[in-house]
Amino acid sequence: MQQSFRSFTSVADVPDVAQLLQEAHEIKKQPLLHAALGKHKTLGLLFFNASLRTRISTQKAAHNLGMNVVVINVGTESWKLEFDDGAVMDGDTVEHIKEGAAVLGQYCDILAVRAFAGLQNREEDYSEPVLNSLMRYAGVPILSLESATRHPLQSFADLITIQELTASKATTTRPKVVLTWAPHPRALPQAVPNSFAEWMRRADVDLVITHPKGFELSEEFTHDVPILYDQDAALEGADIVYPKNWSPYAHNYGAALGSAWREYAAWTVNAQKLARTNNAKVLHCLPTRRNVEIADDVLDSTASAVIQEAANRVYAAQTVLKRMIESLS
């Protein structure tokens, strides 16, 4: 019997990752096999932040299942939301999430939401105010399209891609997957690396994380994953390399590097670095800053699998939506 789940916000919502992956590969082979499953079901996509891949791949996944989709850009199309319990709302927030979420739950069978970390206040970000308010008040299953601390659909698509890329390698050992910090002028959330770490720990891979001192992620996500400060050593023999910037978690939470990113230019992943690997394929959630995070000589080479990875976002979303629809009845 297939597992089903109501909400999908972290790998903890998935009882059996291997089974979910198997289903994703099957859906990729026949994406229109369940084209009537979601008929007359409404998926609401709630964007607090910009989105390209997520916006379109999730719509496509829903269409493949026959669902209706409504998109809400919260900032430009709707009302500024209040999240504080007991607030006297005489400032610039117009609607409390208690009403906003409950109303959306009346119109949508499943609510999907993107709400990035603000990177001003670590405790607030890691309490997931938007996601948890929706979970609490909407009354319908919630699908995370990247929250303050996690990006589970991305990690699921990453894992689908890693399986595809390593299946063809004639090897009896688990693939070595290296998540490497890479420079970036702006402050980015830790959501992608956090999720990547917790998904890879549930998968049949050997994960290594490498980053400069000071960029440690929360141990809640990394647990016992080996962490190296020497990128070259980490890349040795890698099958998969995942370069990704994130801003500091432990100290100077969310600080941007600005032009000081150049002090970390040695961390940019380029072809020369890949020479140390086991003919590794390179993944990235995208968007990526060319020649800052990853060099042209990687992205424009056959080592890059970022487009295949992006394509798999459809099947990750579709697999999860299929399970959520099944859990509705």
Q: Does 305 bind its own copies (CB under 8 A)?
A: no
Identify the residue among 30, 173, 259, 329 touching its own copies (CB under 8 A). Answer: 259
Task: Name the token pair of 127.
Answer: 């309490």
Q: Measure CA 275 to chain center.
A: 28
* Residue 150 binds to its own copies (criterion: CB under 8 A): no
- Give the nearest distance from C-beta 119 to its own copies in angstroms: 16
Is residue 106 classed exposed, middle or buried when 0-12, 13-18 and 19+ CB atoms within 10 A define those classes?
exposed
Taking the complex as a whole, the smallest distance from the CB of residue 172 to its own copies amounts, in Å, to 32
What are the φ and ψ backbone dihedral angles of 122, each rounded to 5 degrees? Answer: -65, -45
Instruction: Please list every residue from 78 through 107 that binds its own copies, using CB under 8 A.
Output: 78-79, 82, 86-91, 94-96, 98-100, 102-104, 106-107
CB of 224 to its own copies, least distance (A): 33
Q: Provide the minimum distance between the beta carbon of 194 and its own copies in the complex, in angstroms, as a whole number.
A: 21
Interacting span for its own copies (CB under 8 A) from 155-163, 170-178, 235-243, 288-296: 288-296
Nearest Cα neighbor of 139 from 95, 115, 108 is: 108
Closest separation in Å from C-beta 290 to its own copies:
5
Closest CA to 178 of 200, 199, 208, 204: 208
Residue 185, classified by CB atoms within 10 Å of its CB into exposed (0-12), middle (13-18) or buried (19+), is middle
Instruction: Please give the span between the terminal C-alpha atoms of the chain, in angstroms, as a whole number.
Output: 16
Side-chain half-sphere exposure of 111, counting CA atoms within 13 A: 28
For its own copies, the binding residue among 228, 289, 326, 327 (CB under 8 A) is 289
Q: Shortest Cβ distance from residue 133 to its own copies (Å)? A: 14
Q: For the residues of 278-291, what is the DSSP string, one character each?
A: SS-EE---S---BT
| Residue with the two structure tokens 């959501």 | 191
Least separation in angstroms between residue 237's CB and its own copies is 27
Cβ-based neighbour number of residue 256 at 10 Å: 16
Q: Which of residues 26 and 300 has its CB atom nearest to its own copies in the complex?
A: 300
Interaction residues for its own copies, span 110-139 (CB under 8 A): none
Backbone angles phi, psi at 158, to 5 degrees: -60, -45
State the Cα–Cα distance between residues 224 and 76, nearest whole angstrom: 42
Q: Which stretch binds its own copies (CB under 8 A): 1-9, 147-155, 199-207, 293-301?
A: 293-301
**For 294, which DSSP code?**
B
Write the binding mask 11 to 50 for its own copies: x where contact by CB under 8 A, - elsewhere.
---------------------x--x----x-x-x--x--x
**CA Rg value for the chain:** 20
The Cα 318–Cα 67 span in angstroms is: 11
> Which part of the chain contacts its own copies (CB under 8 A), choosing from 6-14, 73-81, 162-170, 196-204?
73-81
Whichever of 199 and 261 has its CB closer to its own copies, that residue is 261
- Contacting residues toward its own copies, per CB under 8 A: 32, 35, 40, 42, 44, 47, 50-53, 55-57, 59-60, 63-64, 68, 70, 72-73, 76-79, 82, 86-91, 94-96, 98-100, 102-104, 106-108, 185, 259, 261-262, 286-292, 296, 299-300, 306-307, 310-311, 314
